[in-house]
């Protein structure tokens, strides 16, 4: 017997609307971070949202510093994956990523 779904509805009816807004334009992180906002829509009503960041490791500002300045969550990610002195991936970080 199949277990009942814990979802409140059919996920195939959800749509995603992504947008890039240059909200970081006037900040020191602007060259290193891009912020992407994604709205989750059901019948054109927004039922959720997600935010993604694209991190450029090859830019002027050290990526660790940029992520630290943007939010606590990004800082925690940077501390786990990046070398604070270089802003690039820490030794062994590739082994943690799928």
The candidate with the shortest Cα–Cα distance to 60, out of 17, 13, 28, is 28
Q: Would the pTM count as exceeding 0.75?
A: no
- Separation CA 98–CA 85 (nearest Å): 24
Q: Which tens digit of pLDDT belongs to each residue from 32-90?
A: 898 899 999 998 899 999 999 999 998 888 999 999 999 999 999 999 999 999 999 99
Measured on CA atoms in the order 56, 58, 63, 66, is the torsion positive or negative?
negative
Domain regions of the chain by residue span: 14-89
CA distances from 82 to 2, 3, 25, 37 (A): 43, 41, 23, 24
Contact, 46 vs 16, CB < 8 A? no
3-class DSSP state for residue 15? strand
């Amino acid at each position: 017997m199949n277990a009942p779904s814990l979802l409140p509805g059919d996920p195939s009816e959800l749509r995603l609307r992504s947008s890039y807004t240059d909200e970081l334009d006037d900040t020191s992180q602007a060259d290193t971070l891009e912020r992407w906002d994604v709205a989750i829509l059901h019948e054109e009503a927004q039922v959720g949202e997600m935010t993604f960041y694209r991190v450029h490791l090859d830019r002027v500002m050290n990526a660790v510093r940029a992520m630290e300045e943007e939010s606590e969550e990004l800082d925690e990610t940077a501390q786990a994956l990046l070398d604070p002195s270089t802003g690039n991936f820490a030794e062994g970080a590739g082994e943690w990523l799928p």
